[in-house]
Structure 1
Amino acid sequence: MVSRMFRLETEVDKARQDLLRKRLRDTNTAASPVLRALRGTPGERELPLHVWVLDDSGALAGGLVGHTWTNWLHVGQLWVDARHRGAGLGSQLLAQAERTAFRERGCTSVRLETWDFQAPEFYKKQGYDVVCVIPDYPPGITEYTLTKRLTA
């Protein structure tokens, strides 16, 4: 029998994180015909997609930060300054990101997460469907995952 020694560490290590990500991607690609077919294509890598709204003075009024991967847009953050809410900026940010993802990057779907006190109803009004509900994440709060199909 082979004896193995392990050392557990809890530090942040960017080089190891990058190595782990590469090895996981390689393992997943080897196991999945779909991911293998993506190898070497533009859709293989995540590409940032950011949309910003600035007010007349150049200050940030709102923004959307996300990325595209394969044929999906993932919205990570969407925020509108309280002074500008109700003016349709959130809808405009989301629509611009969807158009860019669809027209320029070939995306056919969008996914995002939001908490119950944030904007699940806003996203439903924009055509998103709830596909996952995680209660008590974090405690006392419900997280929603929503998706939407993009069409011309």
Structure 2
Amino acid sequence: MFRIEALVDKDRRDLLRSRLRESNTAASPVLAALRGTPAEREAPLHIWALDPAGGLAGGLVGHTWTTWLHVAYLWVDAEHRGAGLGTRLLAEAERIAADRGCTASRLETWDFQAPEFYRGQGYEVVCVIPDYPPGITEFTLTKRLV
């Protein structure tokens, strides 16, 4: 008989993630052919924009994995929006990702956030999920990197 638990456990999460990666790599010829271990193929990518006083004006948090950049968060402080800071942060992330061998980028955004901004940066909508969360539409966008 199995015991089922619902609790946050970072050690178990990390073990589960490691085992899932190993299983995925073993089952996929494409993943198995890539150099390095699954953990070695994933690298954090953080970029920060600081104002003259050293305060956070914006930033991008993501990671590269295999040949993809995944942008998890991109934020610019309201007083700095419209000045091209988001474009600069995204371009720098794409440049670093390309230097790491990435050929594509992906991200998610909600309808009230920045889908038009990303389209303007060359991203294409590949998935639309209405009511996620209720009343909001989520978009997944991708871009081929040069």
Bin for the TM-score computed over the shorter chain: over 0.9
TM-score, length of structure 2 as denominator length: 0.95
Q: Please give the residue correspondences for 1:90-129 in structure 2 after superposition, counting only pairs within 5 Å.
A: 90-102=86-98, 104-129=99-124
Change in CA separation of 1:38 and 1:44 when aligned onto 2, cut-off 3 Å: farther
Gaps of 5+ in 2: none
RMSD: 1.4
- Structure 1 letter corresponding to 2:122: G
Correspondence 1:30 to 2:26: yes
Contact map agreement 1:43 1:71 (CA 8 A) in 2: no
Residue type of the alignment partner of 2:81: R
Specify the alignment match of 2:46 in structure 1: 50
Partners in 1 of 2:127 and 2:50 — Cα distance? 33
When Rg is computed on C-alpha atoms for both structures, the one with the higher figure is 1
Answering whether residue 136 of structure 2 is matched by residue 141 of structure 1, we say: yes
1:61 touches 1:80 (CA, 8 Å); kept in 2?
A: yes
Q: Given the two structures, how large is their TM-score scaled by the length of structure 1?
A: 0.91
Cα distance between partner residues in 1 of 2:126 and 2:32:
27
The match for 1:6 among 2, 26, 32 is: 2
- Structure 1 unmatched runs, 5+: none
